[in-house]
Amino acid sequence: MSGRLRDFGIRAGTALLLGGTILIALLWGGVWALAAVISAVALLATIEFYGMTHRDRRLPSELIGLAAVGAMPFAAALHGAVGLTAVMGLLVIAAFFWHVMIRQIRLAETGTTLFGAVYIGFTLAHVVLIREFEAGTMLALTMIVSIWVNDSFAYVAGTALGRHRLAPRISPRKSWEGLIAGTVGTTAVWMASTLLPGVDLPLGWRIAIGLAASLAAVIGDLAESRIKREAAVKDSGRLLPGHGGYLDRFDSFIMVAIVTHYMLFAAGVR
């Protein structure tokens, strides 16, 4: 158990360092500082993703994909969803221009270029879009805290109580007990969100957002695990002690950001 507790301490320390950087940008740095942090995280995670695809002998147009990923959070900060959509359009045009001009590039490589940018850059840019909502700073804070709580509750419960495997062929350590604990924690955070200034969501929507975010976190985690299995790697990278790479750490964040944004939009938040 001591080894597991030590691993948890390393994971928690890394998460606190990254989370502290994001929180400082969110609470005190303004939208451009937040966009810069999200852009940096997205770029590092996308570099790891493209690196994994090389093991499958894919040759994505990394320069095009990374340029789009780096620009997406800033476009969201400057022009909101319209700016983000514009970068997406330019990404598609550039990727297919590259596909036409370079005969060695196959459709699989072009698809990988586009998927990596959308999977990571487009989804994470929604953190900036949430920040631009009314009371967006507090809503983004709630989302970030809910992800931490989900990860921590699921890890502790899964370690101490996990007996029933959730998806053994994809991620052997994931358990139904961890899923339930993470869902309870995430939903509790969203239920308590109205304690923050400016947040005024009906109870039903708070519960719905908590449940949707929990499901998104699991899907994001399992999707990244599946990608790693296909690439035959244990971690997406080695930069983050206790987590592996940036994609390992932000796999849940990726899905939760976009799901939370559209759940809030559906709830009438603008």
Average model confidence (pLDDT) across the chain: 91
The 10s digit of each residue's pLDDT in 165-174 is 888 888 878 8
For the segment 240-262, the average pLDDT, to the nearest whole number, is 90
d(CA 160, CA 184): 16
Under the phi-then-psi rule, with left for phi > 0, alpha for psi from -120 to 50, and beta for the rest, what region is 198? Answer: left
What angle separates helix 176-191 from helix 203-231, to the nearest 10 degrees? 140
Closest CA to 189 of 204, 207, 172: 207
The 10s digit of each residue's pLDDT in 78-113 is 999 999 999 999 999 999 999 998 888 889 899 999
The 10s digit of each residue's pLDDT in 104-136 is 888 989 999 999 999 999 999 999 999 999 999
pLDDT value, residue 83: 98
The 10s digit of each residue's pLDDT in 16-31 is 788 889 999 999 999 9
Are 110 and 96 in contact, with CB atoms under 8 Å apart? Answer: yes
Residue 8: which domain range? 2-266
- How big is the CA angle at 259 (ends 83 and 87), to the nearest 5 degrees? 20
The 10s digit of each residue's pLDDT in 35-44 is 999 999 999 9
The 10s digit of each residue's pLDDT in 61-78 is 999 999 999 999 999 999
Q: 166: helix, coil or strand?
A: strand
pLDDT value, residue 93: 97
pLDDT value, residue 2: 57
Window from 139-143, 180-184, 189-193, 233-237 with minimum mean pLDDT: 233-237
d(CA 64, CA 113): 8
Window from 5-9, 220-224, 247-251 with minimum mean pLDDT: 5-9
d(CA 209, CA 190): 7
Number of domains the chain contains = 1
pLDDT value, residue 4: 61
d(CA 140, CA 130): 6
pLDDT value, residue 1: 47
